[in-house]
Structure 1
Amino acid sequence: MTLSLNSILNSTKLYELKWIHRRLTDIFDEEAAPYLLDCAVMMTGILHMHFRYHSATTPKTQRTSKDVVHYCINRLVELVHQVTKNKEQLLDPQLLDQWAPDQMKEEDLRIETLEQSLFNLKQLIFKHSSEDEQKKHKERLDFLNEELVQQTEPRTFLIDSIIGSLTIDAKPEWQKQLSEFKASVLIFLKDSD
């Protein structure tokens, strides 16, 4: 049983590392690519330690979790520029392919497809909604993201309910993207079983 738990924890850490690495490759240019796995490793450590100490001092400070993340990202940008300039590399990004089993790669792809579909929907909704509507829809979309991506067993009745309410409020400008999102949710939930 302990081995299974360790296995799950290691897979989760690896997924987090791969996710951060993928986001960094989206942000930084090709020149930085060889150094981004090292930077992803450093980012996980920086975030982990800052949140550990931030939570210990929260009553004494007005800084939010968002402030901590912004601070860490600003430090990371400096690190990426520095290691790229100095051409310093410890870990080859190709190691991620060796570390990740094929099943995990498929899961990554499903999650990434779902997240991209949700992002596209969010963009259109915000473009074609009033400020009040944006707030209401943001809460719904954030809930869907959390329920679908972060829960080990997504609650389909809640997901269906939120998607139903989005469908009722849908405007012509984003109905097509909502349909695409619904399809990606169905595929995601089907493949999760």
Structure 2
Amino acid sequence: MTGPTARRRGRPRRTEAGAAGDTRERILTAAREEFSERGYAKTSVRGIAKAAGVDSALVHHYFGTKEQVFQAAVETVFAPALSAPDVIFEGPADEVGERFARFLFGIWENPVTRTPLLAVLRSAVDNEAAAAVFRRLVAGQLLRRVAARLGLPDAELRAELAAAQLVGVAMLRYVIKLEPLASTDVEAIVERVAPVVQGHLTNP
């Protein structure tokens, strides 16, 4: 009578790989929710693991430290925003501010992408480690690409000022929920903000 056949080393079985992917995504989902509700400082790896229904050792296995979990969550959140440079520069140059505002507020207005964005903003404002991750991602993968498309000597400053305008409005509307901004129709907000963003990006 022979015993069970030993599994050969190498690539895991498809079912195991699928399970690993599901576990990783569950941890990321839990991390985004925890960071959103508690902020970076009050979120722990143990809390993320509990919310995901896994052992904390698995969180460390897939991501490492809390900062690395946060970075992975942020990268997932910002994936839709990384196409912004391609979108906002398609069309007339005098409408780039409107396209930028409409694109980013479109992401904020979508409930699926709003929750993880809230996690990023709330965490970045109350913890330097989280803010550093936010800066690296926003500066390196978004704003520098926008600046490169502008082709102006002070392009990076222009891109940062435009982003500051949009992030500031988003903070007041979605995080602080200041009225009447919080309940104003998003199209009215785009109409008001777009000329300011346009000025930062293209005015002499």
Same fold (TM over 0.5): no
TM-score by length of 2: 0.29
TM-score after normalising by structure 1: 0.30
- Greater percentage in helix: 1
Greater Rg, structure 1 or structure 2? Answer: 2
